[in-house]
Structure 1
Amino acid sequence: MPVDGRLARGDATRREVLRRAVDLASVEGLDGLSIGRLAGELGLSKSGVFAVFGSKEELQLAAIEAANAIFTEHVVDPVPASLTGPDRCRELCERWLDYSEARIFPGGCFFFHTCAEFDARDGRVHDALVARSRNWTRLLVESLDGVADAEQVVFEIEALARAANAFSVLYGDADAYRRARTGIRARLAQL
């Protein structure tokens, strides 16, 4: 069955807008997104972009979903299913640090920035960020199945990884990721 040209163009427009939106949000936050700005930067009509998303909030929610897909592609999917326990957790953390350090998003980790932006707010955007963050934390905790204090270990690991992103972005600290890797490896080696 042939694909309607309008649907294909709409999908292409959606992907193009979302890629630019996640890059912008990683630097300026989700509040920095606007349909008019994205349309102007991409040479699209404002009405065309509005037709794809309908509102700023829908654009923000779609950006979270798109950023999560990119994160999953770079961090979760490459980890072999055969890895279990601390080895799986270590590999997930290595990929997470690689993703942040490589600046897949220009502002570092998309979720570090946007979660801080919406942490004290209510609403659908906040709830989507919380759900995504809880899923990531749960994945790390589940990788440590059988470890007595898995939630504490994951809390410490997440603190190190978040600090690496913050020190790297804010201070330009070139050693932040190395120090986080050292700390995470040491903590997991204790298990």
Structure 2
Amino acid sequence: MSKGEDTRNEIIGRAYSIATEVGLEGLTLGVLAERTHLSKSGLFAHFKSKEALQLEVLERAIGLFVKDVVLPALTKPRGEPRVKTLFDRYLVWIRGSEQRDRKGGCFFMSLAHEYDDRPGPLRDRLVQSQRDWYGTLARAARLAVKEGHFRTDLDDTQFAYECIGIGMAFEQAYKLLADPTAEKRARTAFEGLLARSRRARK
């Protein structure tokens, strides 16, 4: 990797950290220049616009999510073990405990409030990333059906919907309400979902 690429990666990493505090709309070349002590003209050489910078930061967040949540689950056996790991890693992602460059809370949930009614490339990429996440959970549930862990009539899309709903409730309770029982309640809800999804034992 060239020095220029190294510098660009470092800038994107810093920008991502800032965006977890102020959101993508609050992330501008001016704010980034002030926080990194670089000139706006120097940053402009790497990112031709605010939107280009924001898209790079969003891609960084997507890459981190895949690395921290999805890939660890793919090392687990197909079926319920993989589903459980996806959920476990999802809670870790929301807590933010393994990433020093961001505070707790799901970056994508925060962006959903920023871009739910704001059309454009940023919203399009955000929407696609979240559809991919729903799809990942649904595929994991389908594999659990094939492995005989989940019942054959399981609605995998509904399963994914409920997993993400539990994650959203967990973030609110954990981050906004500072509820010390937030994770316990999230895991109880997930265990209930698993129990309803499992194939009946003969």
TM-score by length of 2: 0.85
Distance across 2 between alignment mates of 1:174 and 1:51: 46
Identity of aligned residues (%): 36
Alpha-carbon shift at residue 107 of structure 1 (Å): 4.5
Distance across 2 between alignment mates of 1:28 and 1:37: 10
Q: 1:112 aligns with which of 105, 109, 120?
A: 109
SS of the equivalent of 2:25 reads helix
- Alignment RMSD, CA only? 1.6
Contact kept in structure 1, 2:29 and 2:40, CA below 8 Å: yes
For residues 89-126 of structure 1, the C-alpha deviation after alignment (integer angstroms, 9 at most, x for no partner) is 22101011012213432142111111221011111000
Alpha-carbon shift at residue 183 of structure 1 (Å): 0.8
Alpha-carbon shift at residue 72 of structure 1 (Å): 1.4
- CA separation of 1:90/1:141 partners in 2, compared to 1, >3 Å: closer, same or farther? same
Distance across 2 between alignment mates of 1:173 and 1:21: 30
Structure 1 residue aligned with 2:23: 29
Q: Identify unmatched segments of 5+ residues in structure 2.
A: 146-151, 198-202
Distance across 2 between alignment mates of 1:165 and 1:151: 21
Which structure 2 residues correspond to residues 2-151 of structure 1 after superposition, within 5 A?
8-103=2-97, 104=99, 105-145=102-142, 146=145, 148-151=154-157
**Which structure has the higher relative contact order (CA within 8 Å, separation 6+)?**
1
Q: 2:175 aligns with which of 157, 165, 169?
A: 169
- CA separation of 1:91/1:107 partners in 2, compared to 1, >3 Å: closer, same or farther? closer
TM-score by length of 1: 0.89
Distance across 2 between alignment mates of 1:37 and 1:57: 14
Contact kept in structure 1, 2:19 and 2:27, CA below 8 Å: yes
Alpha-carbon shift at residue 130 of structure 1 (Å): 0.1
For residues 59-99 of structure 1, the C-alpha deviation after alignment (integer angstroms, 9 at most, x for no partner) is 11111100111111111111244422232122101011012
Aligned letter for 1:59? Answer: L
Distance across 2 between alignment mates of 1:118 and 1:65: 16
SS of the equivalent of 1:125 reads helix
SS of the equivalent of 2:72 reads coil
Q: How many equivalent residue pairs? A: 185
For residues 108-153 of structure 1, the C-alpha deviation after alignment (integer angstroms, 9 at most, x for no partner) is 2111111221011111000000000000110000011145211111
SS of the equivalent of 1:190 reads helix
- CA separation of 1:151/1:172 partners in 2, compared to 1, >3 Å: closer, same or farther? same
For residues 147-179 of structure 1, the C-alpha deviation after alignment (integer angstroms, 9 at most, x for no partner) is 521111111110110111122221222321221
SS of the equivalent of 2:43 reads helix
Alpha-carbon shift at residue 54 of structure 1 (Å): 0.8
